[in-house]
Amino acid sequence: MAPTPFAAALIKKLSVSNTIDADDRQALEELPITGRFYDPQQTIVHEYDRPSHCCLVVDGFVIRSKSAEGQRQILSIHISGEIPDLQSLHLHVMDHELSTLTGCTLGFIAHDVLRQLCVARPNLAAALWRETLVDAAIFREWIVNVGRRSSVARMAHLIVEMWERLDHIGRTRDGAFEFPVTQVELADCLGLTPVHVNRVLQQLRQDKLLHLARKECNILEKGRLEELGQFEPTYLHLSPQL
Amino acid sequence: MAPTPFAAALIKKLSVSNTIDADDRQALEELPITGRFYDPQQTIVHEYDRPSHCCLVVDGFVIRSKSAEGQRQILSIHISGEIPDLQSLHLHVMDHELSTLTGCTLGFIAHDVLRQLCVARPNLAAALWRETLVDAAIFREWIVNVGRRSSVARMAHLIVEMWERLDHIGRTRDGAFEFPVTQVELADCLGLTPVHVNRVLQQLRQDKLLHLARKECNILEKGRLEELGQFEPTYLHLSPQL
DNA sequence: CGAGTGGTTGATATCTTTCAACCCACGTGG
DNA sequence: CCACGTGGGTTGAAAGATATCAACCACTCG
């Protein structure tokens, strides 16, 4: 059986932080996944839902979010190969919303199937657990980001994080990556106002650190951006050894 | 064998959100755990450490934190029965610091032992995985807290969260609970300044919602505090059904 | 061509921080 | 038993960062 693009994305992403052997790989390739295309800005799973499937991102950007004081806070941005609602395997009620940022190709995997997989292949169970732990590590860093960094540093940190994660699955090209996000959405990631995001981006552009426009992000000075955002990649755990 | 206070705390906490049967319970009671007392403000595990044991909180308060722009951000507060560095089972390098807030009785469990337990008792593996997922859910709520809520709402939310979590393990008594935390530490939880925390607390005291003093927190009007902090308990997943 | 979405701008308001001082309770040592 | 040192809490004035409001601009799509 030829590997589906679904399994391929999942395997590629899992392999970044986990050791996946041939048998694991085969088990993943045989996983029944039903695909579906979603338009931008669509809700995939609502808060309080009790999903029976997990959602695998194959293409596009997916976000998790919840609201407070009428404003939305984006909790995480998910990219190809990730399973943003993997937690629903053990946390039955959704405590936040899952939606598409851009048009997305998604694959849905039944919870039962995943549970069986975890029993049959403990190594994959550990890998999936680990993925949720990396998720949590990123949440921690986002707490620091909105809690303790200035608006410019926040933006710099977010951009470098996205670059690092996308780079490890081969979705960057010389300092640039596709990032079709509006300033309103950036504001929702960073706990800022859209107007202020605009000004922050102008400053970063002026300082020749970053150019974000037309669904594309160009990093001009990665080193200085990292410094500005105090970016320290340990928390991404981008290697099976870490 | 009489159950140690270590196992007892762990079982009590796990039972809040998980279904633990008699065999599970026995397996937990037989777990080799070495106890140790820690003074307040001591580091248990440093950032970049590679721990070989997990740390079980039996008594006292433990925090996870990391720093940015010279300021500390507290990421979570852990209470009796929790294992704050359970993630180190699969994430080998610490991306943050673990330390005591108060004097603490801690129990240390070797990673190997926990891994064996997960293999031998899949139900406990699921329970532990679930605990790390609840952790992540709390991180998400904290992102919302620092990202989108006003200083007063932040404080209200934090206090109600602590009340709920402590209440479920029987550590509250009529609207009050032990909470030996300084204003500086609260500031580090909420992404605020100690001075501002002081003013927020004064306002909450004036409005007769809350009185926090002498290591004790008195909740005067739980309903209005919840409203003020927009507290919605789903994210705590405080029942095996959720 | 017109509507709509996303981006930009300037003026002003608000919230939170900063800084510097002061107070109070507690514990310790002379 | 008092004097002092210390940690935590409190206060006021001023500065700074970010939010708010209300326009306006520039594409793109139909």
pLDDT band at B133 (very low <50, low <70, confident <90, very high): very high
Give B82-130 pLDDT, tens digit per residue: 999 999 999 999 999 999 999 999 999 999 999 999 999 999 999 999 9
Q: Assess whether pLDDT exceeds 90 at residue A242.
A: no
Contact B31, B7 (CB under 8 A): yes
Task: For residue B211, give Cα distances in angstroms to A69, A130, B160, B221.
Answer: 24, 41, 13, 10
What is the per-residue pLDDT for B1? 53
The pTM is what?
0.97
- Residue B214, pLDDT > 90, answer no
Angle between helices B122-148 and B151-168 (to 10 degrees): 160
Distance from CA of B144 to the nearest CA of A (A): 6
Instruction: Tell me if A130 and B90 make a contact (CB, 8 A cut-off).
Output: yes
Share of chain B above pLDDT 90, in %: 95
Position A3 scores a pLDDT of 67
B89 min Cα distance to partner chain A (Å): 9
Could you give the CA distance from residue A51 to residue A91 in angstroms, rounded to a whole number? 10
Burial class of residue B52, CB neighbours in 10 A (0-12, 13-18, 19+): exposed
Closest-approach nucleotide to residue A149, Cα vs C1': D17
Amino acid B137 CA to nucleotide D19 C1' distance, rounded Å:
28
> Would you state the pLDDT for residue A70?
87
Question: Do B132 and A130 make contact, defined as CB atoms within 8 angstroms?
Answer: no
Using CB atoms, which residue from A71, A137, A190 is nearest to B95? A137
Q: What is the band of A209 on the pLDDT scale with cuts at 50, 70, 90?
A: very high
pLDDT higher than threshold 60 for residue B12: yes
**Is the Cβ pair B144, A234 closer than 8 Å?**
no
Phi, psi of A96 (to 5 degrees): -160, 180
Spatial separation of the C-alpha atoms in residues B202 and A103, rounded to whole Å: 48
Q: Could you tell me the distance in Å between the CA of residue A184 and the C1' of nucleotide C7?
A: 10
Q: Which of A91, A126, A230 sits opposite B130 (nearest CB)?
A: A91
When pLDDT is averaged across residues B34-53 and rounded to a whole number, the result is 97
Residue A54 to chain B, least CA–CA distance (Å):
15
Q: Band of the pLDDT at A1, cuts 50, 70, 90?
A: low
Label residue A175 by pLDDT band (50, 70, 90). very high
Chain centroid, CA A203 distance in Å: 26
Quick one: average pLDDT of B198-209? Answer: 97
Which residue out of B77, B98, B144, B151 would a mutagenesis test of the A interface target, given it has the greatest number of A Cβ atoms within 10 Å? B144
According to DSSP, the residues that pair with B36 across neighbouring strands are: B106
Q: DSSP assignment, residue B171?
A: -
Indicate yes or no: CB of B237 within 8 angstroms of CB of A146: no
Q: State the best of A83, A129, A155, A190 to mutate against chain B, taking most chain B CBs within 10 Å.
A: A129
Cα nearest neighbour of B142 on chain A: A143
Q: What is the DSSP letter of B3?
A: P
Q: Are B156 and B228 in contact (CB under 8 A)?
A: yes
Indicate the pLDDT class of residue A2, thresholds 50, 70 and 90.
low
Closest residue, chain B, to A230 (C-alpha): B68
Q: Is the pLDDT of residue B164 over 90?
A: yes
